Structure 1
Amino acid sequence: MEITIKLLAVAILIVLTAFFVASEFAIVKVRKTRMEARAAEGDKKAEKSLKLLNNLDYYLSACQLGITITALGLGWLGEPTLEVLLHPVFDELALPPTVTGTISFAIAFFTITFLHVVLGELAPKTIAIQKAEAITLLLCRPLILYSKLMYPLIWLLNGAANIFVRMFGFQTARESDEVHSEDELRHILTQSYKQGEINRSEYQYVDRIFEFDNRTAKEIMIPRTEMAVLDIQDSVTSSIRSMKSKRYTRYPVIEGDKDKVMGLIHMKELVFMDDQDSLRPYIRPIMKVFENVPIHDLLVKMKKEHSHMAVLLDEYGGTSGIVTVEDILEEIVGEIRDEFDHEEEREIRRLKNGHFLLEGKTSIQDINEYFRVDLNHDDIDTISGWIYTQDYDASEGTIIQGGRLEFKIVDMEKGQIKKVEVWEKSP
């Protein structure tokens, strides 16, 4: 009868070990935001779970104390109990008492250790990691009850540990905030995408957000050479003809030169121009900013001033290019194509032979991301600029190597690289 009670006590200690191990790993692994969402929906168990997560240092100490107590209990009770059971078996073999004691102790020690490690620790840990939310909700109430009963001892041991930790200049678990770096968040995002928790569009949107703050207006601008403008000196008829042919919504208005931008005019103003001999009455103010302004700051400024277009100025005060709200939003949501954009060519197009055709204005950053290469672009922004840094005499037909890629100029116009063909080098 006594042996039966002791064996039952050993089983209970293993179950308690499993309880504390599962609780410890579950409350560390579970997502706090998920519990907050469930609590907001009225889930009482989630509210209890938040109590654990908001005081993680204390409850982890409670789990550690529980694991230590049960381990000591198993060592004190389990091995002697099994030894008593094994002695009669070895006595039947007529072995010397010393040999019998040694073998029975070894078998009892291995058996208790095996049960403690496998059933009490490894199995509960694996289950808790995979089912962290369910385990936390299931065990939160008994863990809170146990912590209240053992509060004096937990407070004493945890306080002593915190004093020791501070002596070496470290923060306690309560004092340190759990934060993630950008690289860690990207890794979490990638793993969530691979596991099917988020779809490809969601993954791409969030990934572009990280790149958003790293880019400047100069990198996404419509360059000066490609700006569609109206000249205040041209006739209204000529200006309307130009607006109809190019089909943009807004046009910068210049005074003889693109360095002298007076403002902008909206396409809808066409309906008011029938009896006018000048664009001047319809010109609206246009924002002017330095070309290296971060696009995040530029978007905030454009929203504040209700502006849809900004002129970018270089370090000498000349016009470098223009940026629209659409250009900025495309950095987050990808390319936005309207009913007229079918006439525009994509910056990176796949050819039938497996090669790719690039627009000369394609940014180096986009190429690096698309082809998974690392072209150095500290001082330039576009592939045409990069090619000239590699060969300042580059002409149509010139081939430049960059990492595992080869770039060939296929179209030039007045010294400006318009099209570039790219392919992977043969092994």
Structure 2
Amino acid sequence: MDDFEIALRIVAGIALILANGFFVAIEFALTRARQYSKGQFLTEGSRGLERAWEMTQDLELYLTTCQVGITASSIAVGIVAEPALAALFEPFFRNTLLASIGSGGILAFLIINLVHLTHGEQTPTYLGVERSRFVARYGAIPLYWFHYLLSPVIALGDGIAKLTLELFGIEMTGAWLEEREEIESRADLRAELNSILVRGGLTDERREEVLNALDVGEQPVREVMVPRETINALRTTDSSEVNLDRIAAHPHTRYPLVGETLIHFRGIV
């Protein structure tokens, strides 16, 4: 194998790993799309996002498309790039004991699999989960046309997969299209509220303040009560200047407004 062929195979291998990463990222991005409402997902009016939302109506077909792309690129990486790397490393082990056990091929196998795992699988998985709208915006249209070109193969694979599930009594119901209508627990409520607050751009501190309101019912009253003598109350019997001085000396967000004594409660300032 000459130098030109080795270089060509390595470049092709890198391209195949990137292709594998593309299919992995868009697969996870599409499966996460329905966690948004349609209005939230399409806020920017992107054609790519609109196409991605339409594709979730037939999500199983596009997941099959992703799997075809992932499988094909993964197999091709081994066929194309591994022999080139083995040929590249083989001279380093020539005339040594390691040459007899094919050390160049073993090293090439390990490197190909490591790069494929980290940059062809894990990295795009995290990207698809964490930046699902970004990936969908730029990846949906290429995936759509890839599916269009391979639609006969995709339809065959999809049919075989569904038939296999039916043999075990499992029916495809499009569960990814179902929108959750009820919040069943406090944990569900906290998770949903936190998601809304994050999308609203609230700071971590402010978001924590809002979420803490969910725990008020579990906090003993004695933990939030203060002794009467430490209450900084504003009094209707005092002048405005006195009350303003009290506010300046004891800054709070709210003050009880009372009459002559604390039992004569008038309201909250």
Alignment root-mean-square deviation, CA: 3.3
Question: Is the Cα contact below 8 Å between 1:165 and 1:171 reproduced in 2?
Answer: yes
The one of the two structures with greater contact order (alpha-carbon pairs below 8 A, sep at least 6) is: 2
Give 1:95's aligned residue.
Answer: 96
Q: Distance in 1 between matches of 2:47 and 2:111?
A: 41
- For structure 2, list consecutive stretches of 5 or more residues without a partner in the other structure: 215-222, 229-269
Give 1:340's aligned residue.
Answer: none
Provide, for residues 354-404 of structure 1, a one-character-per-residue CA deviation record: whole Å limited to 9, x for no partner: xxxxxxxxxxxxxxxxxxxxxxxxxxxxxxxxxxxxxxxxxxxxxxxxxxx
Matching of residue 30 in structure 1 with residue 33 in structure 2: yes
One-letter amino acid of the structure 1 residue matched with residue 96 of structure 2: L
Bigger share in strand: 1
Question: Is the Cα contact below 8 Å between 2:41 and 2:133 reproduced in 1?
Answer: no
- Which of 44, 62, 65 is equivalent to 1:62? 65
Give 1:115's aligned residue.
Answer: 115
| 103 and 41 in structure 1: CA distance in 2 versus 1, 3 angstrom threshold | closer
Q: Kindly tell me the number of residue pairs found equivalent between the two proteins.
A: 212
Matching of residue 84 in structure 1 with residue 87 in structure 2: yes
Q: Distance in 2 between matches of 1:9 and 1:349?
A: 66
| 68 and 173 in structure 1: CA distance in 2 versus 1, 3 angstrom threshold | farther
Provide, for residues 324-362 of structure 1, a one-character-per-residue CA deviation record: whole Å limited to 9, x for no partner: xxxxxxxxxxxxxxxxxxxxxxxx982428xxxxxxxxx
Provide, for residues 165-210 of structure 1, a one-character-per-residue CA deviation record: whole Å limited to 9, x for no partner: 12212222636753545237424225437857475898699x7xxx
Bigger share in helix: 2
Question: Is the Cα contact below 8 Å between 1:35 and 1:46 reproduced in 2?
Answer: no
Deviates more, 1:48-57 or 1:104-113: 48-57
- Higher alpha-carbon Rg: 1
Give 1:7's aligned residue.
Answer: 10
Give 1:280's aligned residue.
Answer: none
Q: Distance in 2 between matches of 1:57 and 1:106?
A: 37
Percent identity over the alignment is 24
Q: Distance in 1 between matches of 2:175 and 2:83?
A: 44
Question: Is the Cα contact below 8 Å between 2:61 and 2:158 reproduced in 1?
Answer: yes
Question: Is the Cα contact below 8 Å between 2:194 and 2:211 reproduced in 1?
Answer: no
Matching of residue 352 in structure 1 with residue 231 in structure 2: no
Superposition pairs for residues 82-161 of structure 1, below 5 Å?
Answer: 82-91=85-94, 94-96=95-97, 99-161=99-161
Provide, for residues 127-149 of structure 1, a one-character-per-residue CA deviation record: whole Å limited to 9, x for no partner: 22111111111111101011111
One-letter amino acid of the structure 1 residue matched with residue 189 of structure 2: R
One-letter amino acid of the structure 1 residue matched with residue 138 of structure 2: L
One-letter amino acid of the structure 2 residue matched with residue 9 of structure 1: A
- Which of 50, 74, 78 is equivalent to 1:71? 74
- Which of 174, 181, 184 is equivalent to 1:182? 184
Provide TM-score, normalisation by structure 2. Answer: 0.67
Q: Distance in 1 between matches of 2:161 and 2:111?
A: 33
| 192 and 21 in structure 1: CA distance in 2 versus 1, 3 angstrom threshold | same
